Amino acid sequence: MKQLMISFVFFFQMAMIMAQTEEIKIYNPDSDAKSDIKAAVAQAKAENKNVLLQIGGNWCPWCVKLHAFMNEDFQVDSILQADYVRVMVNYSKENKNEATMAELGNPQRFGFPVLVVLDQKGERIHTQDSWFLEKEKSYDKEKLVHFLKMWSVAAVNPKD
């Protein structure tokens, strides 16, 4: 019985270690943010959308929560698909994308994640501190939907 208990504890500890070392791969530290953004801007222009930069890192629990929330909520995901080309911009000790951050007005000053909306010319039209989109230990769907709708091409077009 003692050996069975020791084996159980050993396997439980190994499972915990494996779960902790499982690497989250939402953001790619090796990607070239500048070229990713350039490609997204070209795609956005062709599809009449804006670009949504989701800036953060795999090390950031709130970045992971936001990514999951945006992908798992049907309404939020639908708005993203219809109105935005989304780019995951990495900010980590391996790659801070400092030149890109400077060009975007240093959005990292708001903490992470931070959202930046670009128009079809690649010009920054809004930076959103994600703290204002939070609710308790997650994100507020109503606030997130409102944010996405207010910075879509249709919403910022003066003709509308």
Rounded Cα–Cα distance for residues 69 and 54 (Å): 13
Residue 30 has pLDDT above 90, yes or no: yes
At residue 5, the pLDDT reads 53
For every residue of the chain, which 3-state class applies, written as one string? Answer: CHHHHHHHHHHHHHHHHHHHHCCCCCCCCCCCHHHHHHHHHHHHHHHCCEEEEEEECCCCHHHHHHHHHHHHCHHHHHHHHHHEEEEEEECCCCCCCHHHHHHCCCHHHHCCCEEEEECCCCCEEEEEEHHHHEECCEECHHHHHHHHHHCCHHHHCCCC
149 vs 156: CA distance, rounded Å = 10
What is the pLDDT at residue 44? 98
Q: What is the pLDDT of residues 37-64, one digit of tens each?
A: 999 999 999 999 999 999 999 999 999 9
In percent, how much of the chain has pLDDT > 90? 82
Give the pairing type, strands 134-135 and 124-129: unpaired
Give pLDDT tens digits for 86-120.
999 999 999 999 999 999 999 999 999 999 999 99
User: Quick check: 143 pLDDT over 90?
Assistant: yes
- Over the chain, what is the mean pLDDT? 90
Residues 65-77 have pLDDT tens digits of 999 999 999 999 9
Decide if pLDDT at 16 tops 50. Answer: no
Share of the chain above pLDDT 70, in %: 86
Give me the CATH code for the 24-156 domain, please.
3.40.30.10
